[in-house]
Amino acid sequence: MARQAKKAPAKSLEQRLWDAADALRGNQEPSEYKHVVLGLVFLKYISDRFEARRQEINDELAADGIAEDKRERFLEDRDEYRSHNVFWVPAEARWESIQAKAKLPEIGQFIDTAMDLIEKANPVIRGVLPRNYGREGLDKGRLGQLVDLIGSIGFTETDDHGSDDVLGRVYEYFLGQFAGKETGKDAGAFYTPRSVVKTLVEMLEPFHGRVYDPACGSGGMFVQSAEFVKAHGGKRTDISVYGQEFTDTTWKLAKMNLALRGIEADLGDRSADTFTQDLHPDLRADFILANPPFNVSNWWDAKLQDDPRWKYGTPPEGNANFGWVQHFIHHLSPRGTAGFVLANGSVSSKSAGEGEIRRRLVEAELVDCIVTMPDRLFYNVTIPVTLWFVSKDRHGNGHRRREGEVLLIDARKLGSMENRRLRVLSDEEIARISGTYHEWRNHDGGYADVPGFCRAVGRGEIEALDYVLTPSLYVGAAASMSDGEPLPEKVERLSQELFDEFRRGRELEDVIAQQLKELRA
């Protein structure tokens, strides 16, 4: 009986929308097209939220017996919307009005006008929304089709999660897809893949308090932190969010991303360089989560020479890695904890004083845990990266005292390839990493070293290896499982199999040579 072909799994809403949106991209660069698409997703979201709130108000008025002709005054009261964290959307900017003009050649100008009206009505997002839909190089026929496509997202496809969740998922999915499409040195730099973000969040467990990301990109750390709080029965307001972003267009993406999720955040009033224009100089955060750019060489400014942040040594002018580390530590509260991503060289480099800074961090009892991650977790970085976890209070802080030791985890063998370019970690693998950390950190956590994966290492051993923190130097080799076959017999068997392969190879060479000879005849 012939085997039935395996049916491909149905595509998710996000995948279907992405396929359609990408087909409409034409010859536009992904780095530009993402602003076109994500701006429209945001416009659809706030319009949907507005219409839903408008219907709620109307229903409440009807229930109170207020005649329909007298409801308009209440329906146009902006405070009725703002009090429910809903943006006011002027009539000309509502999605129904935009979609009605989708087939007109002036659709780009209509969208630009809508964005301008929304910003004027909502100062909190002033200067954030894209307003270049009317430009000459943007195909208006494709733009109209894109409007119709995004118009298909709504309350009818919510999977019982609510439209803000659907649009938030679409926004995040599109961010990831655009990151994968971009090329060049800074491709995808605005986006930290979910595997990495979720690992950091699950390790730190930011249930409540101040959360800070001074290199926030499009805001993924904050979104995942809010989801973590919600998943554990808390409210989004249990955490307060602070961030900063250097690139202006990425700062705008973050503002829109967080607004989509209903997350109030202080990202400053503009984009700015974190080192030279710290927008939160007095902030002391309970949790810091960050994925700063790796090995930045052109970061230094003369005004940073005697900066108070360099308590453990002045970072080299040619590499910002330990500038970031000390910026994080400077902004931690007395009991705060930070988790961040750095290039692998950060755990072993001894050039330009980096080894000395690392030694001082260990001796100051700041370094809590180091995790070497698998390769290809990022769209634009193929090499493995390292997660650092530092804590201002390792003397307890609700956990056991951990002075004099550091947990080292080698997770390079985890993950599976989602596609040619990107590796992802499963929820179970993330739970294994975070669970190991929690078992080690917690009272009676039941922690035990696992050869080849994790080991709690004393400071004396770290000192003996000159404060190099590469996990593979400490965790040893994984225990091998014996198959019961005696070694001499195994060597004999494998040798015979190898010789058989050699013989088959020679036979194949003879066949190929004979066929080539016949072709020449």
Chunked into runs of 10 residues, the chain (521 residues) has average pLDDT values of 50 74 76 84 89 92 87 90 91 96 96 96 90 89 91 56 57 74 59 88 94 92 88 87 92 86 89 96 97 91 95 96 98 96 94 96 97 87 88 84 95 90 92 97 90 96 96 80 59 71 74 74 66
Q: Is residue 376 part of a domain?
A: yes
Q: For residues 133 and 214, state if they share a domain.
A: no
Q: What is the pLDDT of residues 51-106, one digit of tens each?
A: 999 999 999 999 988 888 888 888 999 999 988 889 999 999 999 999 999 999 99
Q: How many helices (H) and strands (E) does the chain have?
A: 17, 11
Residue 370 has a pLDDT of 98
Could you tell me the end-to-end alpha-carbon distance of the chain, in angstroms, rounded to an integer? 45
Q: For residues 91 and 125, state if they share a domain.
A: yes
Mark which of 180, 214, 237 sits at the end of a domain.
180
What's the pTM value of the predicted model, to 2 decimals? 0.80
Judged on CB neighbours under 10 Å (0-12, 13-18, 19+), 492 is exposed
Residue 358 has a pLDDT of 98
Q: For residues 233 and 277, state if they share a domain.
A: yes
Radius of gyration of the chain (CA): 28
Q: For residues 150 and 206, state if they share a domain.
A: no
Residue 485 has a pLDDT of 58
Q: For residues 33 and 95, state if they share a domain.
A: yes
Q: How far is CA 280 from CA 166, 182, 345, 450, 454, in A?
A: 32, 31, 29, 41, 36
Q: For residues 382 and 313, state if they share a domain.
A: yes
CATH of the domain at 81: 1.20.1260.30
Token pair recorded at residue 478 = 């994984």
Residue 192 has a pLDDT of 80
Q: Is residue 251 part of a domain?
A: yes
Q: What is the pLDDT of residues 435-464, one digit of tens each?
A: 999 999 998 878 999 999 999 999 999 999
Residue 161 has a pLDDT of 41
Q: Is residue 217 part of a domain?
A: yes
Q: For residues 165 and 27, state if they share a domain.
A: yes
* Widest distance between CA atoms in the chain: 100
Which residue range forms the structural domain that includes residue 89? Answer: 13-180
Q: Is residue 511 part of a domain?
A: no
Q: Is residue 152 part of a domain?
A: yes
Q: What is the pLDDT of residues 363-418, one digit of tens each?
A: 999 999 999 999 988 876 777 899 999 999 988 677 899 999 999 999 999 999 98
Total domains in the fold of the chain = 2
Contact 305, 314 (CB under 8 A): yes
CATH of the domain at 235: 3.40.50.150
Q: For residues 287 and 166, state if they share a domain.
A: no
